[in-house]
Amino acid sequence: MSDAPILELADVVKRFGSRTILDGISLSVAPREIVCIVGPSGTGKSTLLRCVNGLEDIQGGEIRFEQTRVEARAKSIKAVRMRIGMIFQQFNLYPHLTALQNVMLAPVVVHGEDRKIVEERARALFEKVRLSPRINAYPAQLSGGEQQRVAIARALAANPHLLMFDEATSALDPETVGDVLAVMRDLAVEGRTMLVVTHEIRFAADVGTRMVFMDQGKIVEDANPREMLAHPKTERARQFFSSIRG
């Protein structure tokens, strides 16, 4: 990985009141890396993603995305957000818009792109997430897995340089998880840069180029996924992986 990092976190600290959620996180992500963040719940994995696009502010350290310093309250944050696609656990589709309108809204309104060009691209994206027949459905008419695939299309529509998945499959029933993971796999093959918070260890091992194990607001291990799964260096990681394998 000789490329300059697309994202760099240096000693990032996040506190809610007196509780420390992120306790000195340093992480560097190169283009085309697929970094899977795993670990027990409540260790700050989602918070980490939310700090990267300024949904949360940080109390210490520094985050840089493509040379821009990420500051939640600064004007520059908009340009950062426009280049990062985020996929949420609860999909967060806009219920009053159709699937197509959901995908088209930000490119037209935020990026100021031509509606015709955006629509063409949106239709291609529906093809990619295998939802072309459902293009005019409203979110309430779609299953969870379908909604999440629309959400992925929505994130892709803005041509992001980084995709962040915040437990994208955790709210889905087991049958539809596979559809969403398949789409995420396609994106990985395309060479997208991805930051993936997940409990799907198998997916992380197959698709991830790197695995980051977090516990209590700290990065405990950072290695190749298969290596980490086969030979966790710390006792904490060993415990975690054995417990989730049941």
Partner 1 sequence: MNYTFTLRTVFPYLGGLVAAAEMTLTLSVLAILISLVIGAAVAVMRRSRLRVVRFAGAAYVEVMRNTPLLVTLYIVYFAAPAIGIRLSSFTAALLGLSLNAAGYMAEIIRAGLIAVPGGQFEAATAQGMTMGQMFRHIIFPQVFRTIYAPLGNQFIAVILASSLASAVAVEEVTSWMETVGANSFRFFETFVVAAVVYVVLCQTINLARLQIGRMLFRQPEARR
Q: Can you give the binding site for partner 1, defined by CB under 8 A?
A: 53, 55, 78-79, 81-82, 84, 86, 88, 90-98, 105-106, 109-111, 138-141, 154, 158
Least Å distance, CB 91 to partner 1, is 8
Residue type, 64: R
Least Å distance, CB 185 to partner 1, is 23
Least Å distance, CB 54 to partner 1, is 8
User: What DSSP string runs through 167-231?
Assistant: STTTTS-HHHHHHHHHHHHHHHHTT--EEEE-S-HHHHHHH-SEEEEEETTEEEEEE-HHHHHHS
Q: Which residues contact 83 (CB under 8 A, 6 or more apart)?
A: 65, 66, 158, 160, 161, 162
The smaller minimum CB distance to partner 1, of residues 95 and 133, is found at 95
Residue type, 2: S
The smaller minimum CB distance to partner 1, of residues 40 and 160, is found at 160
Q: In this structure, are residues 130 and 178 in contact, taking their beta carbons and an 8 Å threshold? A: no
Q: Which residues contact 159 (CB under 8 A, 6 or more apart)?
A: none
Report the distance separating Cα 29 and Cα 84, nearest Å.
Answer: 13
Specify the pairing of strand 84-87 against strand 68-69: unpaired
Least Å distance, CB 106 to partner 1, is 4
The smaller minimum CB distance to partner 1, of residues 94 and 124, is found at 94
CB atoms within 10 A of CB 53: 21
Least Å distance, CB 5 to partner 1, is 21
The smaller minimum CB distance to partner 1, of residues 82 and 205, is found at 82
Instruction: Kindly compute the dihedral angle of the four CA atoms of residues 143, 146, 150, 156, in this order, to the nearest 10 degrees.
Output: 150
Least Å distance, CB 174 to partner 1, is 20
The smaller minimum CB distance to partner 1, of residues 111 and 238, is found at 111
Report the distance separating Cα 83 and Cα 124, nearest Å.
Answer: 20
Least Å distance, CB 161 to partner 1, is 13
* Interhelix angle 174-189/144-156, nearest 10 degrees: 20
The smaller minimum CB distance to partner 1, of residues 99 and 204, is found at 99
The smaller minimum CB distance to partner 1, of residues 184 and 211, is found at 184
